[in-house]
Amino acid sequence: MSKTINPAIIAVATGAMALLGGCTSDPDSPGLEYMPDMYRSPAIEAYVDYGQDPYYFGDSLAKAQRNTMSARLPVEGTIPFAGHEEDAAYNFPYAYPRTEEGYEAAGRELHSPIPMTEATVAQGKEIYDIFCIECHGAKGQGDGTVVNKGNYPPPPAYDGNQLKDLPEGKMYHSISYGRNIAMGAHASQLSPKERWLVIQYVKYLQHGGKMPGEAPQASTTTAEAQ
Ligand code: HEC
């Protein structure tokens, strides 16, 4: 014997549920929660609203719970490293203030955490071609397209007298904070690691498009003897 549910019963049940669900006059009310535990798990999960239904528990308790964070901020002073300990070095707070003394001190004490290799220079070039080339020019001669249009003061050439011996710490300082009026701060565009990478390419251009230490006329080196 097969049993069927009378469609009339379904219609009455659905109608009763709709009536019960909609029987408050406040348009913000979610309606009666039959089983609040099913909506609000006792386990703490990120981004879940733990405020209980104010219609059920009262306004003050609901408010207090809404102000309880579930996604925690890191402890103050925490240095992010995303699983790679070497990344922590880049995220230490920058110790040098935006003053001439800070600039000089960075020039004396601050050194790149990245050893300079052809691969890092190539990575630096990619960043340079996006953020710096329009002013400094492809070879760092201060003749980028923005400057060539005529309304912008040309930056000094990287391998000219003013900048050819500029220490990397000063470069980092200037890229982070900007330099005088014409060179803007790039701290919001480049992470500390990217700043050090682009500096590798600037150093490469300072040396006339060669790795520092590479002899200008690379002729008699151990590379040849091997
Ligand atoms: C809007 C044009 C512009 C852009 C973009 C720009 N620079 Fe500069 N930069 C300048 C000018 C102009 C100066 C000279 C500032 C001065 O000494 O008054 C300068 C100076 C510098 C110096 C020497 C700073 C010092 O301490 O004397 C370095 C190094 C440098 N820029 C690197 C970069 C790098 C790397 C980028 C890209 C991430 C970049 N610049 C992007 C215009 C620019």
Interval 14-63: pLDDT, tens: 766 655 555 567 777 767 777 766 766 666 666 655 555 556 667 777 67
List the residue whose alpha carbon is closest to atom 7 of ligand 1: 183
pLDDT at 32: 74
Counting Cβ atoms within 10 Å, is residue 77 exposed (0-12), middle (13-18) or buried (19+)? exposed
How many whole angstroms separate alpha carbon 121 and alpha carbon 204?
7
Query: Which of 100, 129, 179, 180 has most ligand 1 atoms within 8 Å of its beta carbon, as the pocket-test mutant?
Result: 179
Tell me, what amino acid is at 73?
L
Residue with the smallest CA separation from ligand 1 atom 34 is 132
Distance, CA 45 to ligand 1 centroid (Å)?
Answer: 46
Task: Give yes or no for residue 171 CB within 6 A of ligand 1.
Answer: yes
Cα angle value 73/194/154 (rounded, 5°): 125
How remote is the CA of residue 206 from the centroid of ligand 1, in Å? 13
Residue 105 has pLDDT above 90, yes or no: yes
Ligand 1 site, residue 132, Cβ cutoff 6 A: yes
Counting Cα atoms < 13 Å in the Cβ hemisphere of 43 gives 2
Q: Which residue has the higher pLDDT, 217 or 173?
A: 173
Any ligand 1 atom below 6 A from CB of 154: no
Q: Please provide the average confidence, as pLDDT, over all residues in the chain.
A: 82
CA dist., res. 135 & res. 155, Å (int): 7
pLDDT above 70 as % of the chain: 76
From 214, 212, 207, select the one nearest 139 (Cα to Cα). Answer: 207
- Give the Å distance between the CA of 142 and the centre of ligand 1: 9
